[in-house]
Amino acid sequence: MNTTELIVSIVVGIGCCALGMFLGSMPLKRDQITEEQNKYQQLGGLLACGLVVILMLLSMDIASWVAIAALAVGVGICRIPAVRRWLLAQFPMLKPAEPQSPLRKAKPKKR
C-alpha cells in the first residue's frame, strides 16, 4: 500500500461515512419518503455505487473496501435512536412525510 492509496482511502472513508449517515437518516418505509428524499436517496446510492466501481477499476482494492465499510458504518450510526433524533432536529429535510389518509374504496350498493 503506497501513500496515494492511503490518502485516497482516508478521504473516501470520511466521505462515504458522511454519505452513509445521510442515506441512513432517511426513512426506510416507502410511504414515509417524500419526493425530495426519494431523489436524494437515488442520487446518493448512484454516487456510492459509482465511487466503488471507479475505485475497483483503478485497482484500489483497499479504498473500495473502506468505502463499502464506511457506508455500512454510517448507516449503522444513524440507526441509533439518539443520533437519529439529533439529526432530525438539525436537518428538517430528513423528517418522514406526514401520513396521508387512505382513500376509502366505494362499496357497491346491495340490492
Under DSSP, the state recorded for 28 is S
pLDDT at 106: 57
pLDDT along the chain (111 residues), means of 10: 89 94 87 87 93 93 94 93 90 80 62 61
* Ramachandran angles phi, psi of 31, nearest 5°: -75, -10
8 Å CB contact between 63 and 55: yes
Closest CA to 7 of 48, 49, 60, 47: 60
Q: What is the pTM of this model?
A: 0.79
